[in-house]
Chains A and B, each alone.
Chain A
């Protein structure tokens, strides 16, 4: 799998390059700022772009904006953004950036330390999954809302929704929660009902469910 990396800190960039190479990824481009990242993604057309959110020129959310631009011009490129903190707003923007062949991922930067989990996350994202960091998921499940749809979910269904947001398949969720796949499918369909997605036949209903929940 071909990767372009966007990271302005030289040591971290080298670390990411070595890490991804060890995991069998081919690093075809490295960028130290957001403009260069867009250029290199355009030139190399990789399978996936891995980018830090905070980058030059403004050191604010340049990396995220670059990733969204890349997504807009080439939807098949999967996007993994890394950050030292996570925000619901960014998760929504990524998930709403359109569903292409490649998925999107939003992870805390410290997740790269556990190499095997990171590799498997990146591969799932390349295969089209939307993966949110457990930290975003936890924040989304605890934030208070008046007339909250989550009140209609059982504790078990909340667990299922959390794992859906982390990009797990029904099989993956069944394994994690030690349930049968049939039971998971039942929970997932109840979640769709609660979030008003009963009549949607979209293949990406899982992503829609998470987006709707984040947007509540």
Chain B
């Protein structure tokens, strides 16, 4: 069975830690059929779950933006106004100052939280803008190459692409000891392809850490695949490919 065969992917994605059994093989056969159907354009159950999760993330981020963030800013405005009010007692003014700076801290924390749920660059401008932003914030210099439009990608493909980038870049920063990274994002021929290469120590395994496994799960649920090439001492290359219909 070739590694790209749906059943092989499922085995890595779903059952990697389980002993094989006939029951599982039957289940695998069933799910693999669904996966093949998905590749022909029918959304499978995994894709539908990701789609729902993606919509939920976008909604939560928008709600926090429209509701809580604005309310906290308005409260901070009142605290600062009270602090500046010369007719108020000194004790009240200093309390208001403490309240104001506490609110500023809460707003900053909420901003981080919202970023974790759905990065603003992704929600506002899509995957390519978010890729530029995340490359920009990586503490190792990144050479970023992008091809295609990156526009009108389905939501779950876009968020999964971002997840792959974030995960691969985080791993490279934490473990590779690399001096430079190359990131390629290509959108075309009905696929989104992402590649993150470093010139670090290598030796990473596709099923080694929870991060890479999570990446394979998400990509696999959308009918795509992840490959990791990481010979010892010769850098790491993470490649992900997701069908996107355009």
Which residues of chain A have a CB within 8 Å of any CB of chain B?
A: 9, 11-12, 15, 19, 53-54, 59-61, 83-85, 87-89, 109-110, 112-116, 139, 142-146, 148
A85 touches B111 (CB 8 A): yes
Among B74, B111, B139, contact of A84 (Cβ-Cβ < 8 Å): B111
Residues on A with beta carbons closer than 8 Å to the beta carbon of B140: 144
- Beyond A61-B125, A144-B139, whether A113 also contacts B73 by CB under 8 A is yes
Contact indicator per residue, chain B 151-164, by CB within 8 Å of chain A (1) or not (0): 00000000000000
| Chain A hits for B148, CB < 8 A | none
* A-B pairs with lowest CB-CB distance, top 6: A113-B76, A146-B141, A60-B124, A85-B120, A110-B107, A113-B77
Q: Does B87 contact A (CB under 8 A)?
A: no
Q: Mark B108-129, 1 if CB is under 8 A from A, else 0.
A: 1001001100001101110001
With A9-B66, A146-B141 in contact, do A60 and B104 touch (Cβ < 8 Å)? no
Closest Cβ neighbor of B141 among chain A residues: A146
| Chain B contacts to A: CB under 8 angstroms | 62, 65-66, 69-74, 76-77, 79-81, 84, 100, 103-104, 107-108, 111, 114-115, 120-121, 123-125, 129, 132-133, 136-143, 180
User: Within the complex, which residue of A12, A59, A60, A148 is in contact with B125, where a contact is CB–CB below 8 Å?
Assistant: A60
Contacts A60-B125, A85-B114, A89-B133 hold; do A9 and B81 have CB atoms under 8 A apart?
no
CB distance from A171 to the nearest CB of B (A): 25
Q: Which residues of B contact A87 (CB under 8 A)?
A: 120-121, 129, 133
Closest to B83 in A: A114
Number of A-B contacts defined by CB within 8 Å? 84
Residue of A114, A116, A143 with most partner-chain B CB within 10 A: A114
Report the Cα distance A215→B65, complex, angstroms: 28
A114 and B120 contacting across the interface, CB-CB below 8 Å? no
With contact pairs A113-B80, A113-B100, A144-B140 given, residues A11 and B133 touching in the complex (Cβ less than 8 Å): no
Nearest chain A residue, comparing its CB with the CB of B71: A11
Complex alpha-carbon distance, A89 and B124, angstroms: 12
- Give the Cβ gap from B127 to chain A, nearest Cβ, in Å: 13
User: Chain B's interface: helix, strand, loop or mixed, by majority?
Assistant: helix
Q: Hey, which chain B residues are within 8 Å of A60, CB to CB? A: 123-125
B84 touches A116 (CB 8 A): yes
> Are B123 and A115 touching (Cβ within 8 A)?
no
Residue in B73, B100, B104, B125 whose Cβ sees the most chain A Cβ within 10 Å: B73
Q: Which of B70, B81, B104 contacts A12 (CB under 8 A)?
A: B70
B77/A19 in contact, CB under 8 A: yes
Nearest chain A CB to B28's CB is how many angstroms away?
41
**In the bound complex, how far is the Cα of B172 from the Cα of A169, in angstroms?**
41
In the assembled complex, the CB of A186 is this many whole angstroms from the nearest CB of chain B, namely 30
Instruction: Output the least CB separation between A114 and chain B (Å).
Output: 5
A12 to chain B, nearest CB (A): 5
CB neighbours (8 Å) of B124 from chain A are 53-54, 60-61
Closest to A84 in B: B69
Other A-B pairs beyond A84-B69, A112-B77, 19, CB < 8 Å: A9-B70, A12-B70, A12-B73, A15-B74, A54-B124, A60-B123, A61-B124, A61-B125, A83-B120, A84-B120, A85-B111, A113-B100, A113-B103, A113-B104, A142-B139, A143-B137, A144-B140, A146-B143, A148-B141
Across the interface, do A139 and B115 meet the contact criterion of CB distance under 8 Å? no
Q: What residues on B are CB-neighbors of A110 within 8 Å?
A: 72-73, 76, 104, 107-108
- By a CB distance below 8 angstroms, the chain A residues around B79 are 113
| Docked complex Cα distance between A114 and B136 (Å) | 30
Query: Could you tell me the distance in whole angstroms from the C-beta of B173 to the nearest C-beta in chain A?
Result: 10
Residue numbers in A under 8 Å from B76 (CB-CB): 110, 113
Contact (Cβ within 8 A) A109 B125: no
In the complex, A148 Cα to B142 Cα: how many Å?
A: 12
Q: Which residue of A lies closest to B180 (CB)?
A: A146
Tell me the minimal C-beta distance from A16 to chain B in angstroms. Answer: 9
CB of A19 to closest CB in B, whole Å: 7
Cβ of B148 to closest chain A Cβ, rounded Å:
19
B114 touches A84 (CB 8 A): yes
Bound form: Cα–Cα A142–B137 in Å:
8
Q: Please pick, from B81, B121, B180, the residue contacting A115 in the complex, using a CB distance under 8 A.
A: B81
Query: What residues of chain B lie closer than 8 Å to A112, measured between beta carbons?
Result: 73, 77
